[in-house]
Structure 1
Amino acid sequence: MSEVNKVYGVGQYSARWVQRSSLVEITTSGLLPCLNYSASLEKRPERVLPPMWDMIFYTQDVCLAAVKPFYITQQFAMDEVTDGQKVILYDATGQVEVPIERDGDIKVSSAAEGIKRLINDMYIVYAQLPKHSGTYKGCIIGHVNSAVLGIYYRAYGPASRAECDKWLSDNCAEADFELASGEIPWPLYA
């Protein structure tokens, strides 16, 4: 049996107020590169309000090569006035602040349809973990609604395809796949 490692992972994050309550629901989703890996959204040990979260991947020394999607939600109580309008989460890229959306924030109108068309033309540049300060390696461009493997993090965007192409050519280096035997690209959870 292979050893299980607890490491920081990455995902796509969103948070929203649950209808007319003091509950916030945080959601994370993404793709794991191995069938035998698992993802978890765990409350950090600090006793602060609102609680902070860790995006954790549980990995093993052996990878069963198959893409595995994950979708995780957690609900918790939060005071809108004193606790602010964002959820703080830590992942493989560091601290992430996720803005909390209201159900009423999304209005259906012709303006919303225009925004939807604009979003459909937006792209994101993803870089490969581990995150290096100031350098980006193994970059790919994906549509704003695309799911990407958990070994990538958002480096730039959303922006137009032309802007993403320019940013990638100016800022990204080739990926170096010189990992030591058994090494994983995520930072270990400490």
Structure 2
Amino acid sequence: SSTLCQLCHEKYPCEEIYFQRNTDIPIRRTQVLDISCSSERETTTYKVISIGKLDDRLFDTIPKNWAYDCQDVTLGIRYNSQLSTIGLKKSAIVEIWLSTPPHRIHDNDTVIIEWQPSSVFNCMDCATWTPERLVFNSTNFDKRQELVITRVKVGEVVLLPILHGGGYDKILSAGYPIYIE
């Protein structure tokens, strides 16, 4: 990649893929990862198990319902900002995007995010938000979309995402709250 990422005051290509000489067979990938406010460089070495036509027995060990039984820990939601102080009858914008592309399941890679106030707090109707849902897919997953939150009553509110599709249904929504003070 020609895009550079900064890591420990040095700049590196954000992603590099190395191929076996004079082929298109990947042997190694190096990427800069952004993990909870820190960055690190990770190298993945590939083991070539098949060249040419893939052998079906390589896929026989993968459960047919893997998309429903497996959870991809790289799937997540990103916010700017996750905590907003909003005055009465005032609004704030929260930018939202996905950390990784959604999975294509049954030829569909659409992820829909809707919101609900957490029942842990007493004020279930202290805020409104627009739009009602955000829609992401594998081409716009990293594009920031805006959620406009308006405080209509005094009280603490925590909005939790309701996620549909792309493997995101499996992630724990309580891990991605938006706090409104």
TM-score (norm 1): 0.30
Which has the higher relative contact order, 1 or 2, with Cα contacts under 8 A spaced 6 or more apart? Answer: 1
TM-score (norm 2): 0.31
Q: Which has the higher helix share?
A: 1
Structure with bigger gyration radius: 2
